[in-house]
Structure formats: C-alpha cells, structure tokens
Amino acid sequence: MKKIIIVSIAFCLVALFSCQTTTEAPVQPEETKTTGTLAIKFDNVVGNQDLKRNSPYINPVTNEDFQVYTCNYFISNIKLKTSEGKEYVVPQEESYFLVSEGSEESQTIKINNVPFGTYSEVTFTIGVDSTRSAAGLSNPTKGLLSGINQGMYWSWNTGYIFFMFEGTSSLLKGNHQDGEDFMYHIGGYSGSINNIRKKTFALGSSTALVSATKTPEILFKTDLLKVFNGKNQLRIAKNSVVMFDPYSVEIMANIEQAISLENVKNP
C-alpha cells in the first residue's frame, strides 16, 4: 500500500512539473512580402487578323497566299526597369522561354519574384544568347528543353533555332523541289550569321505596377505579315526554304520589326 502511495505521489509530481515547464512556442511574425508577379504575353497575328493555324491568308503586298502550321520562337534574358531607373534582371536559369502558337499557355510568360514597383521599360532577347547557344545540349534550362523537344535545335549545326516559321502555299505546288511547304528556321549566333536580337520597349504612360495585389500584363504583338513585308521583302515563291544561310539575316531584321508593344494592363 505504501508503495502504491509513493508511486502515485511521484507520478503527480512529474505531471505537475511537466505542466509548469511546458511553454508555447513564440508566434513568429509573418514576413512582409516585397515581390510579386508580372506577365508578358505574346499574341501572334497576320496583319489585323488573329493567327489561326492552317487558315488561309493573303499577303497584300505580293498577293501570295499562305497557311501557317508552325510559329515558335525563343524569348530570353528578360530585364525590367522601374520609373526610378532600378533594374530587375530575371535570373539566367529562369530566363529562357519558348513561345509556341500550338500552346496557348506558352504565350504568356509569368515572371515571379519581381520587386514591387512601377515598371516603365522591358528588354528581352529574341533568340538564345551566344553563351547558351555555344553550350549546345549540355544542361539546358527548362525553357530551352521545351524548345529542343519541339525541334528548335540544329543537331547538324550546333545551335538553337531562334524563330521557326512554317506553312504551305499554293504557289509551290508541283513546281518546286521542296514541295508546297515553306520553312524559315532562323538562328545563328556568331560571325556573319548572327541573328541574336535584343529589343527594349519603353512603356510610356502605361507603366506596369507590381504589388501584392496586382499582377500587370504587358502585351506584345507578333505580326507575321511583317516577316514577309518588313525591312526586306520576303517572297515565298523566291525563297521558300531558309535555314543557316546569309539571307536569314535579312529575315531576322523583319522578325525584329514584327514584334511590337501592344498595351499594358493593370488589374
């Protein structure tokens, strides 16, 4: 009986001591959020019409008919600048994106971890910079891997295809060695065939406000008519297949003009 009493007393003392020494963990204050998200969207068009794959179009300058079944291009090395002149450079490993007409999701690039602020300028590269291009297939980023999986890499020429534009035209049926398809695979990052293009766009009065509650969208338009009718006149009947060729530089000059700022939306 004494043993039972002693054990009971000991148990009570241990329980009492445990209750007295147990303390709740201090509540950690929530971290103040200082970054948000900014979206960059690309809309592919043919003049004043939205691009629809395998739909008929006419080039009003040359009267050449065409249909598009592939329109892919790389956007990389994105940099944002605030109205105060502060810059945010998207980390290299996260700054390669494939825009594909076949994937609506790919046409909107979401940039995370953007410091809060009012942004008045955006810079990006059309294509893939020389460092990544020269590295070939060694350790590609997620964005580059997406391009590789869609044929945006020349295994025979070590380099990424920056802009892939493919389609058909009745002009080529039965009278051209390449059949009825036109193919413009534009790339090259050094020497006389260097098609890397960096573009900077001032947003003007339509600045993009990034905050905890706002995700602005910067909309760009890619007009495929300007690929034909830009700085240089490209005729399907005359040049239906262009890849790693000096003439690709003239086409890239047109592509550079084809991408323009449309508007900025602040929700």
pLDDT at residue 33 in the model:
86
Q: Which residue has the higher pLDDT, 70 or 146?
A: 70
**What residues make up the domain containing 56?**
43-265
Q: Is 1 part of any domain?
A: no
pTM: 0.86
Q: Is 228 part of any domain?
A: yes
Q: Is 37 part of any domain?
A: no
Query: Bridge partners of 139?
Result: none
Phi, psi of 35 (to 5 degrees): -130, 155
Q: Do 87 and 80 meet the contact criterion of CB atoms below 8 Å apart?
A: yes
Q: Is 163 part of any domain?
A: yes
Q: Is 26 part of any domain?
A: no
Q: Is 174 part of any domain?
A: yes
Question: Is pLDDT at 26 greater than 70 in this prediction?
Answer: no
For the chain, the first-to-last Cα distance in angstroms comes to 78
Any idea which residue has 């994106």 for tokens? Answer: 97
Number of domains in the chain: 1
Q: Is 16 part of any domain?
A: no
**Rounded CA separation 162/38 (Å):** 24
Q: Is 130 part of any domain?
A: yes
Any idea which residue has 């008929």 for tokens? Answer: 56
109, two tokens: 């690039």
Taking only the tens place, the pLDDT of each residue in 150-189 is: 999 998 887 999 999 999 999 887 554 555 699 999 999 9
SS3 call for 93: helix
